[in-house]
Structure 1
Amino acid sequence: MTLHAFARDYRYSDAHLHYVDFFQESAGMQSLFAEMDKGRIDHVMISGIPVAKKWHENEPKRPRYYAGDDAGAYWYSATDTLVARALRDLPREQQLRLHPFLSGFNPADKNADAHIRRMLELDPGLWQGIGEVFTRHDDLTALTYGDVPRANNEAMTRVYHLAAEYDLPVMVHSNITSKRERNPLYLGEVEDALRNHPHVRFIWAHAGTSMEIHRHQERLDFLLETLTRMLEDYPNLYIDLSWTLLTPYLLDEKGKPEPRWVELVQKHPTRFVLGSDVVGRFDGLGEKLEEFAVFLDALPAAVAGKVARDNFLAILPAARRAELAAE
């Protein structure tokens, strides 16, 4: 891919990155930092993957992705241990560039908050957020063993109270609709969480969209109007502009910025972040964020800089923000 030739010289924060893939494997920290430096990425939200894909006894070939076959995916708490161990071996200047989020828990289990508390107490000050929490997630939801989690279930309510106690933002993947319903079928689940937990900063992964939804519905016509209202109604809502929103929302079919989305971001300049959503492999990481440069260039320079880098840092716990300011 050729990088945008007329882009401003952006510095980035990647607000949505998975250190491991669905088999809990990673290219490693050396690869990650090489790509961060190459791509002008100063900071990264780093998390595991809360499920592991099963290689079923009846499958002759190991799947490469969770959708590779019909075998299930099971909740995998050791993903956080893998992330924590990888961070411990780094020098402090590199540790300060990574912001680990806890994800290895079953969000349909009311024991989840107790597990998260144990993890926070095992490594005081390490974890900077919770997520990506998989709730409604189209085909992945169907493959996951057990109850389907919801953003507003009792287990997640307990997690949100814990997040508020520890000043941790929460990134939630909660699809706004199903693959075929052309209405915001599941929106109420997200709104319940936002309304009932005003002291929790929510990052809505992909603003409720997904690759699978777009395979069946190229564009959700109600998305812009819905987000416009929600950003007014819920000051604790932040939108992850990762790749499923780039087209056909931020950019039109000709690759030009959509004026109404530019207007929305300008109206709420601190509420949007960028994410790559890579899983365990980091080749071309900078190019994935640079794909947003065409849209960023349509914004005032100060707003573009916030979206590209600073907004994510402002969502982090106050203790980490103070730590970064002191460096």
Structure 2
Amino acid sequence: MHQLQKHLLATSLALMGLASLATYSLVASAEPNSKAQKISTPKHRYSDAHLHIVDFFQEGEPLSKLITAMDKGKIDHAMISGIPLMKKWHEDEPKRPRYYAGDDAGMYWFSATDSYVAEAYRKLPKQDRERLHPFLCGFNPTDKNADKHLRQMLETYPDVWQGIGEVLTRHDDLTALTQDDTPRANNEAMYRVYRVAAEFKLPVLLHSNITSKRERNPLYVGEIEDALAAHPDVNFIWAHAGTSATLHRYQDKLDFLLPALSKLLAAHDNLYIDLSWAVLTPYLLDKNQEAADGWVALINKYPKRFMIGSDGLGSYDKIAANLDEYAPFLDALNKEAAQGVARDNFIALLPKKSVRKILASARQYTDSL
């Protein structure tokens, strides 16, 4: 193992030691102060295609609790990742914030989140690991060294990683608080990340807002179009269909979203859509829990290109309820599309060959030269 890798591993284990004192306690969920939801028996079997096992303070509950929540919620599989940003508790703030928007203090990139995920995952029994699918996210998407971090983590934990993301590029207020350049889906640093994704057949979960808070047009759609066109051998999962809760607070509903998605799906076979968090309302279901005809038609047309997730942040008591909120919409789809969106489409995107085998093949090829 290279000296740098040894140093990274030692640092990660040290962090895990500290984490044992505090990390496994819950600090925040995706929306602070939200009430816990209770469900009886979920109507469908699910895959959670978007789940963070830590919050913006790198704290979260142990994965054993996630497995228990999955069992109760009929969740067969789950994508898991860290959070690539850490919220700063600023010297001038008298109270520790509970969420990234809790005060005006900044965010900074935090690569150790990947080590947290890997170490927590490796401690699980084999039957539990088979249901969880870790994604790498602990890199700065404006740094052309990001691909180096990915390669180091793939070498260090070759039996862990099955995807990349959630990569946070344009993300309204979160981006504004982040202490660095504005990240975007089509910069050179991200293109280097996509090349690693192509090499190891890893899907990329990408957060890239389609517009800003005040522009009523697809201002940034060209950035994801460029990425899709330049890397046809990479499967992109567009987080929240390019939306966010902050966009909706300012604009309510983006009328151009559905036409933009229709156009992109027709043009790019490597685009998949994550419908989690900000998409269920106001888009998929109206206030009467009636499914929107346009979205039903689009998903029935592309039944293998959509998936759902809880977008949980280090807490698992709400994930089953969050997923089952989609049941009225799933019931409006045809049977194939409903099963794909609820469970199968995410699983189908996972790599068929492990990182370890790809690395071994590459070494054999190099040795033969």
Correspondence for 2:293 = 259
The gaps in structure 2 that reach 5 residues or longer are 1-36, 358-369
The structure having more radius of gyration, on CA atoms, is 2
Q: Classify the secondary structure of the residue corresponding to 1:48.
A: coil
2:64 touches 2:124 (CA, 8 Å); kept in 1? no
Correspondence for 2:94 = 60
2:238 touches 2:271 (CA, 8 Å); kept in 1? yes
1:229-268 equivalent positions in 2, closer than 5 A? 229-268=263-302
2:162 touches 2:351 (CA, 8 Å); kept in 1? yes
The answer to whether 1:46 aligns with 2:80 is: yes
1:2: Cα distance to partner?
A: 6.0
**What residue identity is the alignment partner of 1:23?**
F
CA distance in 2, matches of 1:211, 1:148: 19
The answer to whether 1:154 aligns with 2:188 is: yes
Q: Classify the secondary structure of the residue corresponding to 1:244.
A: coil
1:231-282 Cα shifts (integer Å, max 9, x gaps): 1000000000102000111012322000110010000000001111010111
Query: TM-score when scaled to structure 2?
Result: 0.85
CA distance in 1, matches of 2:242, 2:318: 25
Q: Classify the secondary structure of the residue corresponding to 1:23.
A: coil
- Which 4+ stretches in 1 moved above 2 angstroms? 1-5
Q: Percent identity?
A: 63
1:1-327 equivalent positions in 2, closer than 5 A? 1=37, 3=39, 9-319=43-353
1:302: Cα distance to partner?
A: 2.3
Q: Classify the secondary structure of the residue corresponding to 1:192.
A: helix
Q: Classify the secondary structure of the residue corresponding to 1:243.
A: coil
1:53 touches 1:66 (CA, 8 Å); kept in 2? yes
1:125: Cα distance to partner?
A: 2.9
1:3: Cα distance to partner?
A: 4.4
**What residue identity is the alignment partner of 1:274?**
I
1:30: Cα distance to partner?
A: 2.0
1:110-138 Cα shifts (integer Å, max 9, x gaps): 00001110110111131000000000000
**What residue identity is the alignment partner of 2:235?**
R
Instruction: Please say which of residues 298-307 and 171-180 is displaced more in the overlay.
Output: 298-307
CA distance in 1, matches of 2:129, 2:301: 33
1:4 touches 1:293 (CA, 8 Å); kept in 2? no
1:4: Cα distance to partner?
A: 8.8
2:69 touches 2:317 (CA, 8 Å); kept in 1? yes
2:265 touches 2:271 (CA, 8 Å); kept in 1? yes
1:170-197 Cα shifts (integer Å, max 9, x gaps): 0110000000100000110000000100
**What residue identity is the alignment partner of 2:78?**
V
Q: Classify the secondary structure of the residue corresponding to 1:43.
A: strand
CA distance in 2, matches of 1:319, 1:270: 21
CA distance in 2, matches of 1:270, 1:111: 34
CA distance in 1, matches of 2:290, 2:129: 37
1:4 touches 1:291 (CA, 8 Å); kept in 2? no
**What residue identity is the alignment partner of 1:74?**
Y
User: CA RMSD of the aligned region, Å?
Assistant: 1.4
Residues 4 and 209 of structure 1: is their aligned pair in 2 closer, same or farther, counting only changes over 3 Å? farther
1:4 touches 1:294 (CA, 8 Å); kept in 2? no
Q: Classify the secondary structure of the residue corresponding to 2:278.
A: helix
Alignment size in residue pairs: 319
Instruction: Please say which of residues 195-204 and 250-259 is displaced more in the overlay.
Output: 250-259
